[in-house]
Structure formats: structure tokens, C-alpha cells
Amino acid sequence: MMKKLICLVLVLAIVAIARVEADGYGVCGKFSPDRMLTHVLRHCAKPARDLTVPVTPNCCEPLSQVSEECFYAIINSDTWKYSGLDPRIAFTIPRRCHLIHY
């Protein structure tokens, strides 16, 4: 009986450790989509509101390092929803930056 209890505790500890490590990474790596928007892609705010505003290297360079999955997660994030940015216009930014992998 004691061996079974020890095995159960060990298994639960391993699962808990694995879960904590997995929670640290998502589609945007170690940062949340909200943080990616406010820190990495902050220079894309004006081009995400207006098609006539040109994209800048400060917007395009960080965006080139962001995966497509992360980009979609950023556009669907809570911060995005409250920022007033237009997702339809934002979807044009990778093309305007000449990023072919989007």
C-alpha cells in the first residue's frame, strides 16, 4: 500500500512540474500575445488603424520574427480588442511589409 501511495505522489509531482513548464510557453513563445502587442509590435499601431499610413522598419522587422500563429493570437488578444485597432487592416500589415510567409 505504501509503495502505491509513493508512486501516486511521484506521478502527481511529475505531472505538476510538466504543467508548470508547459504553461510558460504558448504560440508566441515565452511572452503572451498581449505582451507581444504592447512591447514587440507597438510600432505597428498606426498602420493597423489606417491603410494610408506606411509601415516602417520598426514595425516590419519585429513582425518578421513573429510566427503566423502568434500574429493571429495577437490580433485575437484582449489587449487588441480594447486598443481600437482594426483587425481587417492589421491583416494587411505582413503583406505591406513584404513578408511572404504570412
Q: Indicate the pTM of the whole model.
A: 0.69
pLDDT (0 to 100) of residue 84: 86
Under a CB-based contact definition with an 8 Å cutoff, are residues 40 and 62 in contact?
A: yes
pLDDT (0 to 100) of residue 20: 44
Domain locations along the chain: 28-96
Grid coordinates given for 13:
509531482
pLDDT in tens, the chain (102 residues): 767 545 444 444 455 454 444 555 899 999 999 999 998 889 999 999 999 999 999 999 999 999 999 999 999 998 888 888 889 999 999 999 999 765
Angstrom distance (rounded) from CA 71 to CA 62: 11
Q: In terms of DSSP H, where are the helices of 2-91? A: 2-23, 33-35, 57-64, 68-75, 78-83, 87-90
